[in-house]
Amino acid sequence: MYKKILIVDDDSGVCNSLAMLLREEGYDVDATTESSEAVVLIEKDRYDVCLFDYKMKGLNGKDLLKITKNINPQCSVFIVSAMFNLEELCQKEIKSGLATGVISKPFDVEELLKKIAAMDS
């Protein structure tokens, strides 16, 4: 079964490129730059992996993480961000296991693909 992936990032360039990349790898990808639209999508579909940008207008990555986990605890959520002290900011979520991991931008693409592949569907 193909993994369903949701990408939420307010930078359209990153959002698009990441979506294209993952589609080319064979994944079923939904992507949006609006966190409000993301909520709708989360409620509608069951995603295997989510990649949320940390800093966004409206709901931020952490908020989306909580919402997703409420609806679908099985989902693997990664916080992807350009924030410098990302690990510090998500300390609690990482410790508690709520977030599967954090990924700093710009990331090593190979590494990212490996991580996603490692997630159980």
Partner 1 sequence: MARKVMNLIATDINRPIGDIKLNIDIANLEETILGVIEDMAPNESEVKDKEGRWYSVRIRPYRTIDNKIDGALISLIDIDAIKRSQTQLQGALSYTQAIIETMREPLVALDGDVRVLSANKSFCDTFNVHASDIKDKLLYELGRRQWDNPVLRKLLGEILPKKNYFNDFELSFDFPEIGQKTMALNGRQIKLHGKDSSLILLVIEDITERKKAEDILKRDNKTLDKMIDKRSKELIRLQMELVKSRHLSAVGTLAATVAHELRNPLADIAISIHRIKKIVKDPVVEEILTGVNGRVLESNQIINDILMYSKTTIVRYESAKINDILISSIDEQAQNFPIGKIAINEKIARTKDLIIEVDPIRIKEVFLNILHNALDAVDKDAGIIEIESDVNDSMVSILIKDNGEGIAKKDLKNITNPFFTTKAKGTGLGLVVCKQVLMLHSGSLTIKSVEGKGTTVTVTLPIHKKENV
Q: Site residues for partner 1, window 46-85 (CB under 8 A)? A: 82-85
Stretch binding partner 1 (CB under 8 A), from 33-41, 65-73, 91-99, 106-114: 106-114
Shortest distance in whole angstroms from residue 22 CB to partner 1? 10
- Of 60, 57, 50, the closest CA to residue 89 belongs to 60
Distances in whole angstroms, Cα of residue 92 to Cα of each of 48, 60, 62:
22, 15, 10
The yes or no reply on residue 115 touching partner 1 (CB under 8 A) is no
If the CB atoms of residues 21 and 67 are measured against partner 1, the closer one turns out to be 21
Cis peptide before 73 (omega within 30 of 0): no
d(CA 75, CA 12): 24
The yes or no reply on residue 101 touching partner 1 (CB under 8 A) is no
d(CA 11, CA 13): 6
d(CA 29, CA 83): 24
Q: What mask, x for binding partner 1 by CB under 8 A, covers residues 6 to 35?
A: -----x-xx--xx-xx--x-----------
Cβ count near 86 (within 10 Å): 19
If the CB atoms of residues 45 and 87 are measured against partner 1, the closer one turns out to be 87
Binding interface with partner 1 (CB under 8 A): 11, 13-14, 17-18, 20-21, 24, 82-85, 105-110
